[in-house]
Amino acid sequence: MNEKIILPELGDGIEGGDVVNILVSKGDEIEKDSVLLELETDKAVLEFPSPQSGRITEIHIQKGDTVTVGQLLVTLDVKGNTEPSEETANSQEEKNIVRQHEQRPEPSHDPETQSLLEDEKEPVGELLPAGPATRKLARELGMDLSKVQGTGKDGRITLDDVKSHVKHRLTSTPSLAGVPAVVLPDFSQWGPVERKPFSSLRRKVAENLTAAWSAVPLVTQFDEADVTELEKMRKKNVHDVQEKGGKLTITVFVMKALVTALKAFPQFNASLDVHRGEIIYKQYFNIGVAVDTPSGLIVPVIKNVDDKSLAELAIELTELSKKARDRKVPLEELRGGNLSVSNLGGIGGTGFTPLVNPPDVAVVGISRSRVVPVWREGQCEPRLVMPFSVSYDHRVIDGADGARFSRLVAHELETFQA
C-alpha cells in the first residue's frame, strides 16, 4: 500500500520552508521516525521524520525547493506493494487535502484579498484538467482556474499550482504590504548583476519588520551606564564560568538587570491585545537574545531568567547561541519571549534603534562600551561607559516611564551585586 507523505502543520505560524537536505533516496527501506529531510523555516532548520516504516518509491521534491504545508514530499510503500496508477495517486492526494481544508474554518473575506481575485471566477462550462480538491479550493478563493498554469502531467492543475498562483498575486500586490511598490530600473544596463531569492528566514524577517514598522508607534530612549566596576567583576569570574561551558558576557548582566526593571515597570513585560482592548501583563520573565548567524537574525529565548544564576544564564546563552548559528534551535526555545536584547557592542557603533517585534512591547539595544573622562568627586577619572537604548510601543508605555525604565537598568548595572 502506498502512503503519500505530505508536509504537516508545523505550528507557530510556520507555513513551510526551503529544503536544505534530502536524507533518503528512491528505493531506501526506512523505519518510522527516520529523518526524511531537513527543512529551513523562518525559525530554524527542522528535521522531518517519516510517520511510518516502508520503502521510498518516489521523491517529489528536490534540494532547494520551497515547500508549503500540505505539499506532497515522498511516496512510501508501507507493505512493499507496487506504486498505484497516477490517477489513484492523484485521487488519494486530493482526498487527503480535502480533509485538511474541511477541518479549517471558512476563509475570511478580506476586502483587499477579494479585490485581487474577484474577477477570477472559473468560466462556466469550460473543462479544465483539475481534480475535485483543486476545484474546491479554487471555488473557495474565487479563482479562475483558466488563469493558473498547470504543472502536472498533460498540464493538469494541482493544488500547489493554485497555492502558488494565489501567493504570487498577494505578494506582488503593493497595497497588501502597506507601502507603495518601488519600480526598479534595469540595473544590468550599468553593469553585471546577480539575483538571489530570499531565504525562508530572510523573507520572514522582512515580513515581521515591515509589519512591526507599520503597526507599532515606536519611541527609543537612549541612555548609558558606567560599567567600570561591572567589567572588573566580569573579568574576575569569566574563567570560572568558562570552565563550566559558558561565556560570561555583558549581555548576561543586562538580562539580570532587566528582570529588576521589568518587575518595577510591568508595562514593559506585557503585550497589547488590540482586538479585546486589553493589556496582558505577564508574571514570568523570559528574555530573547538576538544572535547574528550567517543566515540572518535568530532570537532564542531564555526562560525564567529571574530564577537563574549568572553562570547558569551564561551557559544556557552559549548553548543557545551555538544552536542558533547551526540553525538547530528547537521551536520551543524560540517561543515565549517577553522582551529581547540585541548586543552589537562586539561589532561597533555608538547607538542604534532596535525595532519592537510584536507581541513584545519593548526591546533593548547594547552598543560598544568606551572609556571616557567622567567628573567624579572633584576630579576627572577614566570610566568605562556602555551606551544602550530602549525602544518601546508608545501605545502601552509613556515616555516618562521609558526614561525611568532605562535609568533603573543603568542603576542596576552600575551597582550590580553578584
Q: Strand pairing partners for 218?
A: 393
Residue 13 confidence (pLDDT): 62
Residue 12 confidence (pLDDT): 60
Domain 204-414 superfamily per CATH = Chloramphenicol acetyltransferase-like domain (3.30.559.10)
Residue 169 confidence (pLDDT): 60
Farthest CA pair distance, the chain:
92
Per-residue pLDDT tens digits for 141-193: 667 777 787 887 777 888 778 877 776 665 544 443 455 667 889 999 999 99
Q: Strand pairing partners for 230?
A: none
The grid coordinates listed for 42 are 523562518
Q: State the architecture of 2-171 in CATH terms.
A: Beta Barrel (2.40)
Residue by residue, DSSP assigns 68-92 as ETT-EEEEEESSSPPPPPHHHHHHH
Phi, psi of 262 (to 5 degrees): -65, -35
Q: Which of 101, 109, 165, 394 is catalytic?
A: 394
Q: How far lies 274's CA from each of 10, 97, 212, 390, in Å? A: 26, 33, 14, 22
pLDDT beneath 50: ranges in the chain? 80-126, 172-177
Residue 82 confidence (pLDDT): 43
Q: Report the distance separating Cα 143 and Cα 91, nearest Å.
A: 21
DSSP-derived letter for residue 284 is S
Residue 246 confidence (pLDDT): 96
Delimiting residues of CATH 2.40.50.100 domain(s) in the chain: 2-171
Delimiting residues of CATH 3.30.559.10 domain(s) in the chain: 204-414
Predicted TM-score (pTM) of this structure: 0.68
Residue 322 confidence (pLDDT): 94
Q: Is 394 considered catalytic here?
A: yes
